[in-house]
Amino acid sequence: MSFSHTVVRKVLTVSLCAVIGFTGFAFGQAPSASAATSKADKIILLGKKYLGVKYRFGAPSGITSAFDCSSFVQYIYGKNGIKLPRVSSTQATKGYKVTKGKLKRGDLVFFRTKRTGSKIGHVAVYLGRGKILHTYGSAGGVTYSSLNSGYWKRNYVTARRVL
């Protein structure tokens, strides 16, 4: 083997080791935005499995035969490794605030209700394209609604990103 072949082999070997090493290093980086999106998709997919499950105010944590808004959100996020408090007004203190115009899939959106007056009394999951997934009494259970019309538009308070 000639000197030039030996040098070429060594350069290729060192280059290949560097590529493999840097690729392995990249796997150790923090999760990217797509990882957060993936978690949001998993949460939403799980939530959709419960479409039609009946609403029951004060439904206990962890049961799936009935939900209220905050037990539903607590359950589907908890199954995906995100611990949230049991009550919507306390859930509204977690993560960080996002404006309505900057909502992303998986963000929590909060509303006032007749029962709570001007205070937060309802939570939903933002699905994108102006839609939310949640549960409440008159809907008959877990359902979709439009964030930007009717009751939900009039009673919107804030949103939080917990992913």
Which residues are catalytic, by number? 69, 122, 134
Using the 8-state DSSP alphabet, how is residue 83 labeled? -
User: What's the rounded Cα separation, in Å, for the pair 150 and 28?
Assistant: 46
User: What's the rounded Cα separation, in Å, for the pair 133 and 109?
Assistant: 10
The phi, psi pair for 61, rounded to 5°, reads -60, 140
From 89, 98, 90, 50, select the one nearest 72 (Cα to Cα): 50
